[in-house]
Amino acid sequence: MNEKIISVLERADNDDLKTLCDIITLGKNGTPRISDSLTKTESYKRNYPHRMATLIPGMVRELGLYGGNSVVNFFKGEGADYSTILRKVAKRLKVNFRDSQSDEVIEGYMLQKLFDDMSDRLSDEELRTMAREFGVKPLSYSRQVIIAALQVAIRRGGIYGLTWSMNVANVVARQAIGRGIATFASGTVLSRSLSVLTGPIGWALTAAWTAYDIAGPAYRVIVPAVIQIAYIRQNSGLLALPMYSEIEDLDDEGDDE
């Protein structure tokens, strides 16, 4: 039942998998969770943190245990599949979706919901700044038009959708385990567009995230984990496209001018 999500994670880089593993197994103080079982395995001891791909099945299984319906399920070793966990998280975050929609679509709605909640906390000028970095024009329209244009840019995915998902994952990882995700090397288009989401815009995103009620040990694991997986899916999907290298090439050419 988890074959599809395992195939997504198999395309992730080692650092992103390490962050996901830490979200699932460690508390914010860096020590294993009381109910953790993965860090006790020989596979974990042999392969963490440099060969994270070998731990993917174990991570998915551990996540499924947290996503089960009760403590009894955890100790029985029975867990939920990723699709079930994702829908539970989406409902917790008050995302509008249909159960029949694909996991990828629901992940996208979840990321859009976080933008909607953050945008309420931004001034008109901060929204214009974000729109400018996202390549949204014209910028002289009303607040509602700018928000709608940014929603479209995020919904379309691509480099700006990835920029947004990376920042959401970064904020959530910091809240969950005390450190953010790894980012692209300085000089790429993506790393430059990240700069807009620092300062007041970054603070608004953090405030929007912390406003969610994710009390309870299971939700403190599954909510950040699902957001990290949504980012991994977008990241691995975009970097698999030939045009990503072309974007970086164009950016390098601009540096030479």
Residue 257 has pLDDT above 80, yes or no: no
3-state secondary structure of 145: helix
When mean pLDDT is compared across 170-179, 180-189, 200-209, the lowest value belongs to 180-189
Distance CA 229, CA 136 (A): 27
Residue 113 has pLDDT above 80, yes or no: yes
Distance CA 97, CA 86 (A): 11
Q: Which residue has the higher pLDDT, 229 or 131?
A: 229
User: Tokens for 210?
Assistant: 């912390």
* CA 129 centroid distance within chain: 23
Mean pLDDT computed over every residue of the chain = 84
* Model confidence band, residue 250 (pLDDT cutoffs 50, 70, 90): very low
Residues 6+ apart with CB under 8 A from 132: 139, 196
When mean pLDDT is compared across 35-39, 52-56, 251-255, the lowest value belongs to 251-255
Q: What is the pLDDT of residues 144-156, one digit of tens each?
A: 999 999 999 888 8
pTM: 0.87
Confidence at residue 239, expressed as pLDDT on a 0 to 100 scale: 57
Confidence at residue 185, expressed as pLDDT on a 0 to 100 scale: 47
Q: What is the pLDDT of residues 1-48, one digit of tens each?
A: 689 999 999 999 999 999 999 999 999 888 999 889 999 999 999 999
Angle at alpha carbon of residue 133, lines to 201 and 229, rounded to 5° = 65
Peptide bond preceding 49 in cis form (omega within 30 of 0):
yes
Residue 130 has pLDDT above 80, yes or no: yes
